[in-house]
Structure 1
Amino acid sequence: MSSRELVVLGTASQAPTRYRNQNGYLLRWDAEGLLFDPGEGTQRQMLLAGVSAREIDRVCLTHFHGDHCLGVPGVVQRLSLDRVPHVVEAHYPASGAEFFRRLRYATSFHEVAELREVPVERDGPVATGAFGTLEARRLDHRVDAFGYRLVEPDGRRMLPEALTRLGVSGPDVGVLQREGVLEHRGRWVELAEVSVPRPGQRFAFVMDTRLCDAVYALADGVDLLVIESTFLDEDAGLAAEYGHLTAAQAARVARECGVRRLVLTHFSARYADPRAFHDEAAGIFDGDVVVAEDLARVPVPPREHAGVPG
Protein backbone atom coordinates (compact mmCIF):
# COMPACT_ATOMS: atom_id res chain seq x y z
CA MET A 1 0.00 0.00 0.00
CA SER A 2 1.23 3.45 -0.89
CA SER A 3 2.32 5.56 2.10
CA ARG A 4 0.84 8.56 0.31
CA GLU A 5 -2.67 8.11 -0.97
CA LEU A 6 -6.13 9.62 -0.97
CA VAL A 7 -8.91 7.49 0.50
CA VAL A 8 -12.20 8.71 -0.96
CA LEU A 9 -15.05 8.49 1.55
CA GLY A 10 -17.72 10.42 -0.33
CA THR A 11 -18.14 12.21 -3.65
CA ALA A 12 -21.68 13.64 -3.76
CA SER A 13 -22.51 17.31 -3.50
CA GLN A 14 -25.51 18.69 -1.65
CA ALA A 15 -27.46 15.44 -1.39
CA PRO A 16 -26.16 11.86 -1.19
CA THR A 17 -27.27 9.32 -3.76
CA ARG A 18 -27.58 5.54 -3.72
CA TYR A 19 -23.97 5.28 -4.85
CA ARG A 20 -22.34 8.43 -3.52
CA ASN A 21 -22.06 9.53 0.08
CA GLN A 22 -21.60 13.17 0.98
CA ASN A 23 -18.04 14.47 0.98
CA GLY A 24 -15.16 12.95 2.90
CA TYR A 25 -11.49 12.46 2.00
CA LEU A 26 -8.60 11.08 4.04
CA LEU A 27 -5.12 11.92 2.83
CA ARG A 28 -2.52 9.47 4.08
CA TRP A 29 0.79 11.28 3.92
CA ASP A 30 3.45 9.09 5.50
CA ALA A 31 2.69 9.20 9.23
CA GLU A 32 0.17 12.06 8.89
CA GLY A 33 -3.55 11.58 8.29
CA LEU A 34 -5.60 14.57 7.13
CA LEU A 35 -9.38 14.26 7.02
CA PHE A 36 -10.93 16.80 4.67
CA ASP A 37 -14.58 17.92 4.71
CA PRO A 38 -16.29 15.05 6.56
CA GLY A 39 -19.91 15.16 5.45
CA GLU A 40 -22.82 13.19 6.86
CA GLY A 41 -22.08 9.47 7.06
CA THR A 42 -18.29 9.83 7.14
CA GLN A 43 -17.89 7.62 10.20
CA ARG A 44 -19.59 4.69 8.44
CA GLN A 45 -17.62 5.32 5.25
CA MET A 46 -14.43 5.16 7.29
CA LEU A 47 -15.47 1.73 8.52
CA LEU A 48 -16.18 0.51 4.98
CA ALA A 49 -12.87 1.93 3.73
CA GLY A 50 -10.83 0.44 6.55
CA VAL A 51 -9.89 3.82 8.03
CA SER A 52 -9.32 4.02 11.78
CA ALA A 53 -10.01 7.13 13.83
CA ARG A 54 -6.48 6.75 15.14
CA GLU A 55 -5.20 7.62 11.66
CA ILE A 56 -6.63 11.14 11.89
CA ASP A 57 -4.14 13.83 12.87
CA ARG A 58 -5.98 16.78 11.34
CA VAL A 59 -9.54 17.64 10.36
CA CYS A 60 -9.64 20.30 7.63
CA LEU A 61 -12.93 21.99 6.74
CA THR A 62 -13.18 24.19 3.68
CA HIS A 63 -16.49 25.77 4.71
CA PHE A 64 -19.66 25.27 6.72
CA HIS A 65 -22.17 23.88 4.24
CA GLY A 66 -23.68 20.66 5.53
CA ASP A 67 -22.31 18.32 2.89
CA HIS A 68 -18.80 19.33 4.00
CA CYS A 69 -19.16 19.25 7.77
CA LEU A 70 -22.19 17.33 9.10
CA GLY A 71 -19.96 14.33 9.76
CA VAL A 72 -17.93 16.29 12.32
CA PRO A 73 -20.00 15.25 15.38
CA GLY A 74 -19.58 11.54 14.67
CA VAL A 75 -15.88 11.87 13.89
CA VAL A 76 -15.19 13.95 17.00
CA GLN A 77 -17.02 11.52 19.25
CA ARG A 78 -15.27 8.56 17.61
CA LEU A 79 -11.91 10.09 18.51
CA SER A 80 -12.88 9.81 22.17
CA LEU A 81 -14.64 6.46 21.84
CA ASP A 82 -11.44 5.00 20.36
CA ARG A 83 -9.29 6.93 22.86
CA VAL A 84 -7.07 8.41 20.18
CA PRO A 85 -3.85 9.11 22.11
CA HIS A 86 -2.46 12.03 20.12
CA VAL A 87 -3.64 15.61 19.72
CA VAL A 88 -5.88 16.12 16.68
CA GLU A 89 -5.93 19.61 15.20
CA ALA A 90 -9.02 21.05 13.51
CA HIS A 91 -8.70 23.73 10.84
CA TYR A 92 -11.75 25.64 9.62
CA PRO A 93 -12.72 29.18 8.55
CA ALA A 94 -12.52 31.33 11.66
CA SER A 95 -15.78 33.06 10.77
CA GLY A 96 -17.54 29.73 11.35
CA ALA A 97 -16.23 29.15 14.88
CA GLU A 98 -19.74 29.08 16.32
CA PHE A 99 -20.78 26.46 13.76
CA PHE A 100 -17.80 24.32 14.70
CA ARG A 101 -18.58 24.61 18.41
CA ARG A 102 -22.15 23.42 17.75
CA LEU A 103 -20.93 20.50 15.65
CA ARG A 104 -18.24 19.54 18.14
CA TYR A 105 -20.68 19.44 21.03
CA ALA A 106 -23.83 18.44 19.14
CA THR A 107 -24.68 15.84 21.80
CA SER A 108 -23.44 14.73 25.18
CA PHE A 109 -20.43 12.39 25.17
CA HIS A 110 -17.44 11.49 27.31
CA GLU A 111 -14.65 13.56 25.80
CA VAL A 112 -11.23 12.04 26.42
CA ALA A 113 -9.45 12.72 23.12
CA GLU A 114 -7.72 16.08 22.74
CA LEU A 115 -9.02 18.13 19.81
CA ARG A 116 -7.21 21.44 19.33
CA GLU A 117 -8.98 24.06 17.25
CA VAL A 118 -6.78 26.06 14.87
CA PRO A 119 -9.13 28.42 12.99
CA VAL A 120 -8.04 29.78 9.61
CA GLU A 121 -8.26 33.56 9.40
CA ARG A 122 -6.17 34.47 6.35
CA ASP A 123 -4.11 33.11 3.49
CA GLY A 124 -0.86 31.43 4.44
CA PRO A 125 0.57 28.55 6.48
CA VAL A 126 -1.72 27.00 9.08
CA ALA A 127 0.50 24.13 10.26
CA THR A 128 4.02 22.81 9.87
CA GLY A 129 5.66 19.55 10.82
CA ALA A 130 7.56 16.55 9.53
CA PHE A 131 4.95 16.32 6.74
CA GLY A 132 5.85 19.78 5.42
CA THR A 133 3.67 22.88 5.45
CA LEU A 134 -0.12 23.03 5.28
CA GLU A 135 -1.30 26.25 3.67
CA ALA A 136 -4.76 27.76 3.15
CA ARG A 137 -6.16 30.25 0.64
CA ARG A 138 -9.54 31.95 0.56
CA LEU A 139 -11.86 30.74 -2.20
CA ASP A 140 -14.84 32.41 -3.91
CA HIS A 141 -18.00 30.74 -2.67
CA ARG A 142 -21.33 31.88 -1.26
CA VAL A 143 -19.96 31.54 2.28
CA ASP A 144 -16.48 31.95 3.72
CA ALA A 145 -14.35 29.13 2.29
CA PHE A 146 -10.70 28.10 2.17
CA GLY A 147 -8.79 25.59 0.08
CA TYR A 148 -5.75 23.72 1.38
CA ARG A 149 -2.31 22.94 -0.01
CA LEU A 150 0.29 20.57 1.47
CA VAL A 151 3.90 21.28 0.51
CA GLU A 152 6.83 19.00 1.28
CA PRO A 153 10.23 20.73 1.39
CA ASP A 154 12.65 19.97 -1.41
CA GLY A 155 15.38 17.54 -0.48
CA ARG A 156 17.99 15.27 -1.99
CA ARG A 157 18.04 11.57 -2.85
CA MET A 158 21.22 9.76 -1.86
CA LEU A 159 22.96 7.71 -4.56
CA PRO A 160 24.11 4.36 -3.10
CA GLU A 161 26.64 3.76 -5.87
CA ALA A 162 28.29 7.14 -5.26
CA LEU A 163 28.40 6.56 -1.51
CA THR A 164 30.01 3.15 -2.07
CA ARG A 165 32.56 4.55 -4.48
CA LEU A 166 33.69 7.13 -1.91
CA GLY A 167 33.45 4.71 1.02
CA VAL A 168 30.84 6.73 2.91
CA SER A 169 28.55 4.57 5.03
CA GLY A 170 26.77 4.24 8.38
CA PRO A 171 26.44 7.32 10.58
CA ASP A 172 28.61 9.32 8.19
CA VAL A 173 25.73 9.35 5.70
CA GLY A 174 23.51 11.11 8.23
CA VAL A 175 26.25 13.63 9.03
CA LEU A 176 26.63 14.39 5.34
CA GLN A 177 22.88 14.85 4.93
CA ARG A 178 22.68 17.22 7.89
CA GLU A 179 25.87 19.20 7.38
CA GLY A 180 26.15 19.13 3.58
CA VAL A 181 29.84 18.25 3.78
CA LEU A 182 31.93 15.52 5.42
CA GLU A 183 35.65 15.11 6.03
CA HIS A 184 36.40 11.53 5.01
CA ARG A 185 39.62 9.70 4.18
CA GLY A 186 41.64 12.87 3.92
CA ARG A 187 39.25 14.80 1.72
CA TRP A 188 36.01 16.75 1.91
CA VAL A 189 32.95 15.02 0.45
CA GLU A 190 30.13 17.34 -0.58
CA LEU A 191 26.48 16.30 -0.52
CA ALA A 192 26.09 17.15 -4.22
CA GLU A 193 28.65 14.45 -5.08
CA VAL A 194 26.53 11.63 -3.67
CA SER A 195 22.96 12.81 -4.21
CA VAL A 196 20.55 14.37 -6.69
CA PRO A 197 17.77 16.90 -6.12
CA ARG A 198 14.48 15.47 -4.87
CA PRO A 199 11.63 17.93 -5.37
CA GLY A 200 9.15 17.89 -2.53
CA GLN A 201 5.70 16.56 -3.31
CA ARG A 202 2.60 18.73 -3.24
CA PHE A 203 -1.11 18.16 -2.74
CA ALA A 204 -4.07 20.52 -3.08
CA PHE A 205 -7.69 20.29 -1.99
CA VAL A 206 -10.12 22.70 -3.65
CA MET A 207 -13.83 22.54 -2.90
CA ASP A 208 -16.79 24.80 -3.52
CA THR A 209 -15.63 27.87 -5.41
CA ARG A 210 -15.85 29.87 -8.58
CA LEU A 211 -12.67 30.29 -10.58
CA CYS A 212 -10.38 32.72 -8.76
CA ASP A 213 -6.68 33.40 -8.26
CA ALA A 214 -6.62 31.20 -5.16
CA VAL A 215 -7.61 28.12 -7.18
CA TYR A 216 -4.56 28.54 -9.39
CA ALA A 217 -2.28 29.29 -6.44
CA LEU A 218 -3.39 26.15 -4.65
CA ALA A 219 -3.05 23.94 -7.73
CA ASP A 220 0.31 25.29 -8.90
CA GLY A 221 2.69 22.40 -9.58
CA VAL A 222 0.93 19.86 -7.37
CA ASP A 223 1.31 16.12 -7.78
CA LEU A 224 -2.31 15.44 -6.79
CA LEU A 225 -5.16 17.93 -7.14
CA VAL A 226 -8.53 17.05 -5.60
CA ILE A 227 -11.02 19.54 -6.95
CA GLU A 228 -14.76 19.91 -7.16
CA SER A 229 -16.42 19.62 -10.55
CA THR A 230 -20.04 19.88 -9.51
CA PHE A 231 -21.27 20.69 -13.02
CA LEU A 232 -20.48 19.94 -16.63
CA ASP A 233 -19.62 22.86 -18.88
CA GLU A 234 -23.09 22.87 -20.44
CA ASP A 235 -24.26 24.20 -17.06
CA ALA A 236 -21.47 26.73 -16.55
CA GLY A 237 -24.04 29.41 -15.82
CA LEU A 238 -25.41 27.43 -12.88
CA ALA A 239 -21.89 26.76 -11.68
CA ALA A 240 -21.10 30.47 -11.57
CA GLU A 241 -24.43 31.31 -9.94
CA TYR A 242 -23.99 28.83 -7.10
CA GLY A 243 -20.25 29.25 -6.64
CA HIS A 244 -18.96 26.05 -8.21
CA LEU A 245 -16.67 24.74 -10.95
CA THR A 246 -17.26 22.63 -14.03
CA ALA A 247 -15.17 19.66 -15.09
CA ALA A 248 -13.80 21.72 -17.97
CA GLN A 249 -12.75 24.54 -15.66
CA ALA A 250 -11.04 22.09 -13.30
CA ALA A 251 -9.21 20.56 -16.26
CA ARG A 252 -8.01 23.96 -17.48
CA VAL A 253 -6.66 24.71 -14.02
CA ALA A 254 -4.81 21.39 -14.00
CA ARG A 255 -3.36 22.02 -17.46
CA GLU A 256 -2.23 25.57 -16.74
CA CYS A 257 -0.79 24.68 -13.32
CA GLY A 258 1.20 21.61 -14.35
CA VAL A 259 -0.79 19.18 -12.19
CA ARG A 260 0.28 15.56 -12.47
CA ARG A 261 -2.90 13.76 -11.36
CA LEU A 262 -6.35 15.37 -11.40
CA VAL A 263 -9.10 13.98 -9.15
CA LEU A 264 -12.61 15.25 -9.93
CA THR A 265 -15.30 14.99 -7.25
CA HIS A 266 -18.36 16.65 -5.62
CA PHE A 267 -20.74 15.72 -8.42
CA SER A 268 -24.25 17.06 -8.79
CA ALA A 269 -26.93 14.37 -8.70
CA ARG A 270 -28.39 15.80 -11.91
CA TYR A 271 -25.84 13.79 -13.94
CA ALA A 272 -26.39 10.04 -14.27
CA ASP A 273 -23.17 9.04 -16.05
CA PRO A 274 -19.88 9.97 -14.36
CA ARG A 275 -17.97 9.18 -17.55
CA ALA A 276 -19.14 12.53 -18.89
CA PHE A 277 -16.93 14.28 -16.32
CA HIS A 278 -13.91 12.24 -17.40
CA ASP A 279 -14.53 12.86 -21.09
CA GLU A 280 -14.96 16.60 -20.62
CA ALA A 281 -11.79 16.93 -18.52
CA ALA A 282 -9.68 14.57 -20.65
CA GLY A 283 -10.45 16.65 -23.73
CA ILE A 284 -8.60 19.56 -22.11
CA PHE A 285 -6.06 18.05 -19.70
CA ASP A 286 -3.76 15.37 -21.10
CA GLY A 287 -2.51 14.21 -17.70
CA ASP A 288 -4.03 11.54 -15.48
CA VAL A 289 -7.76 12.20 -14.86
CA VAL A 290 -9.55 10.33 -12.06
CA VAL A 291 -13.30 10.52 -11.55
CA ALA A 292 -13.54 9.84 -7.84
CA GLU A 293 -15.67 6.95 -6.61
CA ASP A 294 -16.68 6.29 -3.03
CA LEU A 295 -14.20 4.06 -1.15
CA ALA A 296 -11.59 4.29 -3.93
CA ARG A 297 -7.92 4.82 -3.14
CA VAL A 298 -5.95 7.19 -5.32
CA PRO A 299 -2.14 7.08 -4.92
CA VAL A 300 -0.11 10.24 -4.96
CA PRO A 301 2.04 9.86 -8.12
CA PRO A 302 5.58 8.59 -7.48
CA ARG A 303 7.91 11.44 -6.72
CA GLU A 304 10.14 12.90 -9.40
CA HIS A 305 13.93 13.12 -9.10
CA ALA A 306 15.73 15.88 -10.96
CA GLY A 307 12.97 15.93 -13.55
CA VAL A 308 13.02 12.16 -14.04
CA PRO A 309 10.10 10.11 -12.62
CA GLY A 310 11.13 7.41 -10.18
Structure 2
Amino acid sequence: MTHGKSIKLFLVDGSPNGILTAEIINWTGHVLSAPRTKLSELIQREECSRTGVYFLVSYDPENPLYPKVYIGESDDVANRLKQHNRTEEAGGKDFWEKVCLVTGKDQNITKTHIKYLESHLIEIAKKNGQCQLLNGTAHQYCRLPESDTADMEYFLEQIQVVLPVLGYEFLKEMKHPSDVLKVQDKLINPRIEDAIFYLSVKDVDAKAQVIDGEFYVLKGSKVRPEVSQPNHNYMKNLRPVLLANGVIDPNIFEFTQDYLFSSPSAAGAVILGRASNGRKEWKNSSNHLSYEEWQQNQVEQISL
Protein backbone atom coordinates (compact mmCIF):
# COMPACT_ATOMS: atom_id res chain seq x y z
CA MET A 1 0.00 0.00 0.00
CA THR A 2 1.36 3.43 -0.97
CA HIS A 3 1.33 6.06 1.74
CA GLY A 4 1.37 9.81 1.26
CA LYS A 5 4.20 12.01 2.47
CA SER A 6 4.13 15.49 3.92
CA ILE A 7 6.93 17.77 2.67
CA LYS A 8 7.47 21.09 4.39
CA LEU A 9 8.83 23.84 2.13
CA PHE A 10 10.02 27.22 3.38
CA LEU A 11 10.94 30.21 1.19
CA VAL A 12 13.65 31.81 3.32
CA ASP A 13 13.50 35.22 1.65
CA GLY A 14 9.87 34.95 0.52
CA SER A 15 10.82 34.38 -3.12
CA PRO A 16 10.41 31.15 -5.13
CA ASN A 17 13.72 32.02 -6.83
CA GLY A 18 15.68 32.45 -3.59
CA ILE A 19 16.88 30.15 -0.83
CA LEU A 20 14.48 27.31 -0.09
CA THR A 21 14.46 24.65 2.61
CA ALA A 22 12.65 21.29 2.46
CA GLU A 23 11.97 18.61 5.05
CA ILE A 24 9.93 15.42 5.25
CA ILE A 25 8.09 14.81 8.49
CA ASN A 26 9.94 12.21 10.62
CA TRP A 27 13.04 12.28 8.38
CA THR A 28 16.36 13.37 9.88
CA GLY A 29 17.53 14.97 6.62
CA HIS A 30 17.39 18.65 5.69
CA VAL A 31 17.52 20.07 2.15
CA LEU A 32 18.65 23.53 1.06
CA SER A 33 18.35 24.84 -2.49
CA ALA A 34 19.52 28.19 -3.87
CA PRO A 35 20.63 29.94 -7.05
CA ARG A 36 24.33 30.70 -7.30
CA THR A 37 23.53 34.41 -6.96
CA LYS A 38 22.47 33.69 -3.36
CA LEU A 39 25.64 31.79 -2.46
CA SER A 40 26.98 34.50 -0.12
CA GLU A 41 23.80 34.22 1.95
CA LEU A 42 23.58 30.44 1.70
CA ILE A 43 27.04 29.68 3.10
CA GLN A 44 26.30 31.75 6.20
CA ARG A 45 23.53 29.37 7.22
CA GLU A 46 24.28 26.93 10.01
CA GLU A 47 23.36 23.91 7.82
CA CYS A 48 26.27 24.70 5.48
CA SER A 49 28.81 24.09 8.23
CA ARG A 50 27.65 20.49 8.61
CA THR A 51 28.71 17.31 6.87
CA GLY A 52 26.64 16.88 3.74
CA VAL A 53 26.26 15.96 0.11
CA TYR A 54 25.63 18.64 -2.54
CA PHE A 55 24.61 19.01 -6.17
CA LEU A 56 25.86 21.71 -8.54
CA VAL A 57 23.38 22.10 -11.41
CA SER A 58 22.99 24.09 -14.61
CA TYR A 59 20.48 23.83 -17.45
CA ASP A 60 22.20 23.52 -20.81
CA PRO A 61 20.43 25.56 -23.54
CA GLU A 62 21.93 23.18 -26.11
CA ASN A 63 20.41 20.19 -24.32
CA PRO A 64 17.62 21.50 -22.04
CA LEU A 65 16.25 18.04 -21.27
CA TYR A 66 19.47 17.03 -19.53
CA PRO A 67 20.93 19.38 -16.90
CA LYS A 68 24.65 19.37 -16.16
CA VAL A 69 25.20 17.99 -12.66
CA TYR A 70 28.15 17.56 -10.34
CA ILE A 71 27.68 15.58 -7.09
CA GLY A 72 30.06 16.10 -4.17
CA GLU A 73 30.43 15.72 -0.42
CA SER A 74 32.18 17.57 2.37
CA ASP A 75 32.32 17.80 6.15
CA ASP A 76 32.17 21.58 5.69
CA VAL A 77 29.92 22.27 2.72
CA ALA A 78 30.28 26.07 2.98
CA ASN A 79 34.03 25.99 2.38
CA ARG A 80 33.68 23.48 -0.45
CA LEU A 81 31.10 25.69 -2.19
CA LYS A 82 33.40 28.70 -1.81
CA GLN A 83 36.08 26.69 -3.63
CA HIS A 84 33.67 25.73 -6.41
CA ASN A 85 32.70 29.39 -6.82
CA ARG A 86 36.21 30.28 -8.00
CA THR A 87 37.10 30.49 -11.67
CA GLU A 88 38.15 27.34 -13.52
CA GLU A 89 41.72 28.69 -13.58
CA ALA A 90 41.67 28.96 -9.79
CA GLY A 91 40.33 25.42 -9.34
CA GLY A 92 36.61 26.23 -9.29
CA LYS A 93 33.71 25.20 -11.50
CA ASP A 94 32.17 27.72 -13.88
CA PHE A 95 29.22 25.75 -15.21
CA TRP A 96 26.74 25.72 -12.31
CA GLU A 97 23.77 28.03 -11.73
CA LYS A 98 22.03 26.34 -8.79
CA VAL A 99 23.12 24.38 -5.75
CA CYS A 100 21.23 21.91 -3.60
CA LEU A 101 22.68 20.41 -0.42
CA VAL A 102 21.46 17.67 1.90
CA THR A 103 22.58 17.47 5.52
CA GLY A 104 21.30 15.88 8.72
CA LYS A 105 19.28 17.74 11.33
CA ASP A 106 21.52 16.29 14.05
CA GLN A 107 25.17 15.22 14.38
CA ASN A 108 24.54 11.56 13.53
CA ILE A 109 25.48 11.91 9.84
CA THR A 110 29.23 11.29 9.70
CA LYS A 111 31.88 11.58 6.98
CA THR A 112 31.59 7.83 6.41
CA HIS A 113 27.82 8.09 5.95
CA ILE A 114 28.14 10.97 3.51
CA LYS A 115 30.75 9.16 1.39
CA TYR A 116 28.34 6.25 1.14
CA LEU A 117 25.56 8.61 0.07
CA GLU A 118 27.75 10.39 -2.50
CA SER A 119 28.89 7.16 -4.20
CA HIS A 120 25.35 5.80 -4.40
CA LEU A 121 23.88 9.10 -5.62
CA ILE A 122 26.44 9.19 -8.43
CA GLU A 123 25.53 5.60 -9.28
CA ILE A 124 21.80 6.45 -9.34
CA ALA A 125 22.36 9.53 -11.54
CA LYS A 126 24.39 7.48 -14.02
CA LYS A 127 21.85 4.67 -14.12
CA ASN A 128 18.88 7.02 -14.52
CA GLY A 129 20.49 8.79 -17.49
CA GLN A 130 18.47 11.96 -16.89
CA CYS A 131 21.43 14.38 -16.66
CA GLN A 132 24.89 15.13 -17.99
CA LEU A 133 26.91 13.90 -15.01
CA LEU A 134 30.22 15.75 -14.71
CA ASN A 135 31.76 13.54 -12.05
CA GLY A 136 34.70 11.37 -12.97
CA THR A 137 34.90 7.73 -11.92
CA ALA A 138 33.16 7.23 -8.58
CA HIS A 139 34.48 4.59 -6.19
CA GLN A 140 32.02 2.22 -4.57
CA TYR A 141 31.85 2.98 -0.86
CA CYS A 142 30.25 0.29 1.30
CA ARG A 143 32.19 0.53 4.56
CA LEU A 144 29.19 0.75 6.84
CA PRO A 145 27.75 -1.60 9.46
CA GLU A 146 24.57 -3.36 8.39
CA SER A 147 22.31 -1.13 10.52
CA ASP A 148 23.95 2.05 9.20
CA THR A 149 23.59 0.80 5.63
CA ALA A 150 19.85 0.32 6.17
CA ASP A 151 19.59 3.85 7.60
CA MET A 152 21.46 5.36 4.63
CA GLU A 153 19.33 3.44 2.11
CA TYR A 154 16.25 4.98 3.73
CA PHE A 155 18.02 8.38 3.63
CA LEU A 156 18.63 7.89 -0.12
CA GLU A 157 14.98 7.08 -0.70
CA GLN A 158 13.91 10.33 0.95
CA ILE A 159 16.38 12.34 -1.14
CA GLN A 160 14.81 10.79 -4.25
CA VAL A 161 11.40 11.93 -3.03
CA VAL A 162 12.32 15.50 -2.06
CA LEU A 163 14.60 16.61 -4.88
CA PRO A 164 12.08 16.14 -7.74
CA VAL A 165 9.63 18.31 -5.77
CA LEU A 166 12.28 21.06 -5.91
CA GLY A 167 12.77 20.59 -9.66
CA TYR A 168 15.85 18.33 -9.52
CA GLU A 169 14.53 15.30 -11.40
CA PHE A 170 17.77 13.50 -12.25
CA LEU A 171 17.64 11.33 -9.10
CA LYS A 172 13.99 10.35 -8.96
CA GLU A 173 13.24 6.66 -8.77
CA MET A 174 12.96 5.08 -12.21
CA LYS A 175 10.36 2.36 -12.73
CA HIS A 176 11.13 -0.91 -14.51
CA PRO A 177 7.80 -1.78 -16.14
CA SER A 178 9.23 -4.55 -18.34
CA ASP A 179 10.19 -6.58 -15.26
CA VAL A 180 6.74 -6.02 -13.73
CA LEU A 181 5.01 -6.99 -16.98
CA LYS A 182 6.81 -10.34 -17.07
CA VAL A 183 5.60 -11.17 -13.58
CA GLN A 184 2.06 -9.91 -14.09
CA ASP A 185 1.77 -11.66 -17.45
CA LYS A 186 2.15 -14.94 -15.59
CA LEU A 187 -0.47 -13.86 -13.08
CA ILE A 188 -2.81 -12.93 -15.95
CA ASN A 189 -3.65 -9.53 -14.55
CA PRO A 190 -6.40 -8.13 -16.82
CA ARG A 191 -5.68 -4.51 -15.87
CA ILE A 192 -2.04 -4.54 -16.89
CA GLU A 193 -2.91 -3.42 -20.45
CA ASP A 194 -5.02 -0.47 -19.35
CA ALA A 195 -2.04 1.84 -19.70
CA ILE A 196 0.11 0.06 -22.30
CA PHE A 197 0.49 1.72 -25.68
CA TYR A 198 1.98 0.75 -29.03
CA LEU A 199 3.47 2.66 -31.94
CA SER A 200 3.50 0.47 -35.01
CA VAL A 201 4.38 1.78 -38.47
CA LYS A 202 6.90 0.76 -41.13
CA ASP A 203 10.27 -0.21 -39.52
CA VAL A 204 8.90 0.64 -36.07
CA ASP A 205 7.39 -1.55 -33.37
CA ALA A 206 7.43 0.14 -29.98
CA LYS A 207 5.58 -0.26 -26.70
CA ALA A 208 5.19 2.12 -23.78
CA GLN A 209 3.51 2.18 -20.40
CA VAL A 210 2.17 5.00 -18.25
CA ILE A 211 3.18 4.60 -14.61
CA ASP A 212 2.30 7.20 -11.96
CA GLY A 213 1.49 9.61 -14.79
CA GLU A 214 4.88 9.19 -16.49
CA PHE A 215 5.55 7.78 -19.96
CA TYR A 216 8.04 4.89 -20.20
CA VAL A 217 9.09 3.34 -23.51
CA LEU A 218 9.68 -0.37 -22.87
CA LYS A 219 12.84 -2.37 -23.39
CA GLY A 220 12.91 -4.10 -26.79
CA SER A 221 11.04 -1.32 -28.62
CA LYS A 222 12.25 -0.90 -32.19
CA VAL A 223 13.44 2.49 -33.49
CA ARG A 224 13.51 3.72 -37.08
CA PRO A 225 17.19 3.94 -38.10
CA GLU A 226 16.66 6.83 -40.52
CA VAL A 227 16.07 10.43 -39.43
CA SER A 228 13.89 12.45 -41.80
CA GLN A 229 14.00 15.71 -39.82
CA PRO A 230 17.61 16.05 -38.56
CA ASN A 231 17.12 19.65 -37.39
CA HIS A 232 14.26 18.77 -35.06
CA ASN A 233 15.19 19.43 -31.41
CA TYR A 234 14.86 15.79 -30.33
CA MET A 235 16.95 14.64 -33.32
CA LYS A 236 19.77 17.07 -32.52
CA ASN A 237 19.85 16.56 -28.76
CA LEU A 238 17.94 13.66 -27.25
CA ARG A 239 18.24 10.87 -29.83
CA PRO A 240 22.07 11.13 -30.20
CA VAL A 241 22.45 11.01 -26.41
CA LEU A 242 20.34 7.87 -26.13
CA LEU A 243 22.36 6.22 -28.90
CA ALA A 244 25.69 7.30 -27.40
CA ASN A 245 24.72 6.08 -23.93
CA GLY A 246 23.51 2.72 -25.21
CA VAL A 247 19.87 3.28 -24.17
CA ILE A 248 19.17 2.61 -27.86
CA ASP A 249 21.45 -0.03 -29.40
CA PRO A 250 23.16 1.78 -32.34
CA ASN A 251 23.50 -1.46 -34.31
CA ILE A 252 19.99 -2.90 -34.15
CA PHE A 253 18.15 0.32 -33.14
CA GLU A 254 16.33 -1.20 -30.22
CA PHE A 255 15.82 0.06 -26.66
CA THR A 256 18.11 -1.86 -24.32
CA GLN A 257 16.18 -0.75 -21.21
CA ASP A 258 12.94 0.89 -20.16
CA TYR A 259 13.29 4.65 -20.55
CA LEU A 260 11.31 7.58 -19.13
CA PHE A 261 10.34 10.30 -21.61
CA SER A 262 8.96 13.74 -20.80
CA SER A 263 5.93 13.13 -23.04
CA PRO A 264 4.46 10.72 -25.63
CA SER A 265 5.50 13.19 -28.35
CA ALA A 266 9.15 13.16 -27.22
CA ALA A 267 9.11 9.36 -27.29
CA GLY A 268 7.42 9.27 -30.69
CA ALA A 269 9.86 11.74 -32.22
CA VAL A 270 12.94 9.81 -31.06
CA ILE A 271 11.48 6.51 -32.29
CA LEU A 272 10.19 7.79 -35.67
CA GLY A 273 13.08 10.14 -36.47
CA ARG A 274 10.72 13.05 -37.07
CA ALA A 275 8.26 15.34 -35.32
CA SER A 276 5.47 13.36 -33.71
CA ASN A 277 2.15 14.18 -32.14
CA GLY A 278 2.46 11.36 -29.64
CA ARG A 279 -0.97 11.99 -28.19
CA LYS A 280 -2.46 10.86 -31.53
CA GLU A 281 0.11 8.33 -32.74
CA TRP A 282 0.43 6.13 -29.65
CA LYS A 283 -2.50 3.68 -29.38
CA ASN A 284 -3.81 1.83 -26.34
CA SER A 285 -3.11 -1.88 -26.71
CA SER A 286 -6.45 -3.07 -25.31
CA ASN A 287 -8.94 -0.82 -27.16
CA HIS A 288 -6.75 0.87 -29.84
CA LEU A 289 -7.77 4.35 -28.74
CA SER A 290 -5.16 7.05 -29.22
CA TYR A 291 -3.34 8.24 -26.10
CA GLU A 292 -5.39 11.43 -26.35
CA GLU A 293 -8.70 9.52 -26.46
CA TRP A 294 -7.62 7.14 -23.69
CA GLN A 295 -6.69 10.04 -21.42
CA GLN A 296 -10.01 11.76 -22.13
CA ASN A 297 -11.87 8.55 -21.24
CA GLN A 298 -10.08 8.34 -17.89
CA VAL A 299 -11.60 11.70 -16.96
CA GLU A 300 -15.07 11.15 -18.42
CA GLN A 301 -15.54 7.88 -16.57
CA ILE A 302 -15.38 9.69 -13.23
CA SER A 303 -18.79 10.33 -11.68
CA LEU A 304 -19.00 13.68 -9.92
Higher relative contact order (CA 8 A, sep 6+): 1
| TM-score using structure 2 length | 0.24
The structure whose residues are more often strand, as a share, is: 1
| TM-score using structure 1 length | 0.24
